[in-house]
Chains A and B, each alone.
Chain A
């Protein structure tokens, strides 16, 4: 009886263990991709297959990662020396890895073609202290997804990237559209900090100011007030935005949008995939640019990035694979699969991105205005965001505190946090 039990245990463990493959002289690169929509996974896998078919000496092994817990998973892998050679992540997650020495500086590794293909403003999102730690390749602006029928019937001016609404005009329009239990806009502000800061660039807000000594200080100035004040006025003074969506994610607002309760919802550009899939038959929707201010249509973004692990023994080959993967036509395939925009200038010219269908043309017209959020490269930003800014903005939007208290918390408490990282 006892022998039988031991045998079962041994068999179970033997069944679990299996030898690791590879090791026949070929270079094997592990590429951890975070592609998740069916089309983008398929496109990425196809591109890996194409590479492997044309590069017999360097095999790329596709490893499926997940956006959920990607930071912790990568950190553990880096610390343990088991990280993939090529890492897919987002620009706002790279600062800690770059400072920790886990990522290779790509400045000399990348070919001139790839460097020239992506504009400076996009490179800035993945550049820390003059070194490039990731190739920004996909990005998405925040847009207004609108109920086209409602807006048309209300007779309001429809904004375009050439003639966007100003923030005061946007507030006025949402006021006109509201009434009878219906709202002009629903703000899904589960993550209020990135939404507020990224949109505030359009009003000329910067919040994070770098001095000549390289140190960053937080100053909540008049331009930084415009977006939060507009949202608060819509919520509290005008009644043109419901309070109930303040704690919601973008997807949570869609039933109310489809049900005719909200005329507009500010969402990331890639939400269009979900809208196209879930919208009731006959529901007419359109994509509008976010309002503009002193900064024009400028928005902060955190593009998806591809990096090379510092521990990878095959950095040159990994860089060659990135060059292949991010050829303009390939970038377009990846962008279409994820319903996002490519960063590449040449890729952005692709006709598929200029069609009016599903709002592609409007989003593509905004690409030139997407830039790195000033906070992105600031050390201590994640802690400031979690401990200071998120609760402060949540309380401000819910009406618990006023603008002065918001300013005091962002500046005084925020600068204390940043000071610890800048000694």
Chain B
């Protein structure tokens, strides 16, 4: 009994240590955001700011259009996540359920397409978007993000679809449910965790993305948050650390909120279990 308690305590200690490891960068960022310049240059930095200030936040908002760029990022990321999920879900279903040559080729292509680094595709992509008149357009950026997120989203969702036993769909058919009814009432609820995970992935990818946004968006009013954040960094990597940390804290919050909203569905869905096989 005592051994089991000791093991449990050890597990919790390890978990806490892991949690501390994961949250360290964010907590340090939070601490930096509230420090005045003199504390930022201190040889013995403290976790809790000795003279906490909101000046960094004020300066960040004064110098850069953070709110507008955050709204741009939100719009682009939400649109990309929504479209990616809408496209990937039926595609993943077909790829998982139909074991045809085409489906296998598509799966192979999905894996191969992830091998291309963005520096390789950026110039051709730029030319394609220019011919479509989608340079300096957030719609063009959404399209890029959807295409960029789609392979991984497909791969992720295909796995989730495969995990839903086909016997469940067959049982629904035996009970007289039509194809659509089976998909909506039986398969879709079981796929919810996968859809939530895919949406989260597509959202965070688009929210954090910097280079495509930098290259494609010219008009300052359309630019997204990661592009605006780099304006706190000057030549040779010299950074305006306080305002940069303040702006980065604000940039991190929507991802955290979005994750908090969907994580219950991800965890809940995983734990729910469907049938005994």
Contact = CB atoms under 8 A, between A and B. Distances in A.
B169 interface: no
Nearest to A278: B41
Interface string A256-288: 101101000000101100100111110000000
Contact of A63 (B210, B218, B235, B239): B218
Contact of A80 (B43, B44, B119, B130): B130
Contacts of A270: 234-235, 238
A68 B233 contact: yes
Contact of B142 (A13, A37, A72): A13
Nearest to A190: B237
B123 A12 contact: no
Contacts of A67: 230, 233-236
A17 B214 contact: no
B122 interface: yes
A386 B202 CA distance: 34
B238 A274 contact: yes
B37 interface: yes
Interface in B59-101: 59, 62-63, 75-76, 78-79, 82-83, 86
Contact of B214 (A16, A37, A38, A66): A66
A82 B227 contact: no
Contacts of A63: 218-220
A75 B122 CA distance: 10
B37 A277 contact: yes
Nearest to A32: B218
A9 interface: yes
Contacts of A66: 214, 227, 230-231, 233
Q: Is the interface of B mostly helix, strand, loop or mixed?
A: helix
Interface stretch (A216-224, A247-255, A349-357, A407-415): A247-255
B139 A278 contact: no
Contacts of A268: 236
B231 A36 contact: yes
B211 interface: yes
A225 interface: no
B215 interface: yes
A249 B38 contact: no
B43 A76 contact: no
A184 B216 CA distance: 48
Bin the interface of chain A by size. 35 or more
B107 interface: no
Interface in B117-131: 119, 122-123, 126-127, 130
A307 to B, nearest CB: 16
Interface in A62-93: 62-64, 66-69, 72-73, 75-77, 79-82, 84, 90
Contact of A259 (B44, B138, B238): B44
Interface string A357-393: 0000000000000000000000000000000000000
Contacts of A193: none
A59 to B, nearest CB: 14
A38 to B, nearest CB: 5
A8 B83 CA distance: 10
A68 B76 contact: no
A34 B238 contact: no
A314 interface: no
Contacts of A38: 59, 62-63
A41 interface: yes
Nearest to B45: A255
A64 B83 CA distance: 30
B63 A41 contact: yes
Nearest to B127: A80
Contacts of B78: 12
Contacts of A18: 137-138, 222
A233 interface: no
Interface in B197-236: 210-211, 214-215, 218-220, 222, 227, 230-236
Max chain B C-beta neighbours (<10 A), residue from A76, A249, A256, A258: A76
**Complex A-B, nearest 6 residue pairs according to Cβ-Cβ distance, in ascending order:** A259-B43, A278-B41, A16-B138, A17-B139, A80-B126, A66-B230
Given A20-B219, A38-B62, A279-B41, 17 more contacts: A12-B78, A13-B139, A16-B137, A17-B139, A36-B240, A37-B240, A41-B63, A66-B231, A67-B235, A68-B233, A72-B119, A73-B214, A79-B126, A274-B41, A274-B238, A278-B38, A278-B40
Interface of B: 37-38, 40-45, 59, 62-63, 75-76, 78-79, 82-83, 86, 119, 122-123, 126-127, 130, 135-139, 141-142, 210-211, 214-215, 218-220, 222, 227, 230-241
14 contacts: A16-B79, A37-B234, A38-B63, A63-B219, A72-B211, A75-B123, A80-B135, A254-B41, A255-B41, A259-B43, A268-B236, A270-B234, A277-B37, A278-B41
